[in-house]
Amino acid sequence: MKKAAFIVSLLFLSYLFFPQKVNAHPVHISVTNIDILPQQKKIIFSVRVFISDFNTAINKKNNTKIDFSKSPQMLVVKQIVSDYINNNLIFYFDKKQNKNRFSLVRYKTNEEGAIWFYFEIPNTNCNFGNISIKNTLLNDLYKDQTNLLILSYKDKQQAYSFNRKNIKYSFLIH
């Protein structure tokens, strides 16, 4: 697991420091950062994907394309993005599926053609011993899709690399 996370991280960093054309990137990767905040009774997380990949997925599902630079589209963007993430990133707390839908709080694009989506799961009882995550982000688009996930709880971090064959993983929370 550590070796796979290292390789994925290395590929991701190589893209950041040696970017290709926006629509032609050599790896298909997403990065999800999850922070469990028991004192605040919430979980916050961010998802980083390439805009072109995300738009391809949305176009395939909804026959639409999102222009993330236009503010008037914000309500439509929030709904479409939230629906896609809720259907492809599923949380289980002590083996019980999270029934609270999470919605997009904000998003931020960068020069490399990527976008960060920021989400929050409020009013979450963080007294669980196990969190399982099913991650199928962009799996329907690319055979080589890799979804790196980093989970932070208190001062500890754990990571896992998802792909088409490995879509679910359980983290022990101590």
Domain 29-147 classification at class level: mainly beta
Least confident of 22-36, 122-136, 141-155: 22-36
Q: What's the first-to-final CA gap in the chain, in angstroms? A: 19
Q: Kindly list the domain boundaries of the chain, sorted by start residue.
A: 29-147
State the residue for tokens 């019980």: 96
Nearest Cα residue to 37 out of 126, 141, 107, 165: 126
Q: What is the pLDDT of residue 21?
A: 42
Strand ranges (E), 89-145 = 89-93, 96-97, 103-109, 114-121, 130-135
- pLDDT tens-digit readout, 37-52: 988 989 999 999 999 9
pLDDT band at 173 (very low <50, low <70, confident <90, very high): confident
Residue 117: pLDDT above 80? yes
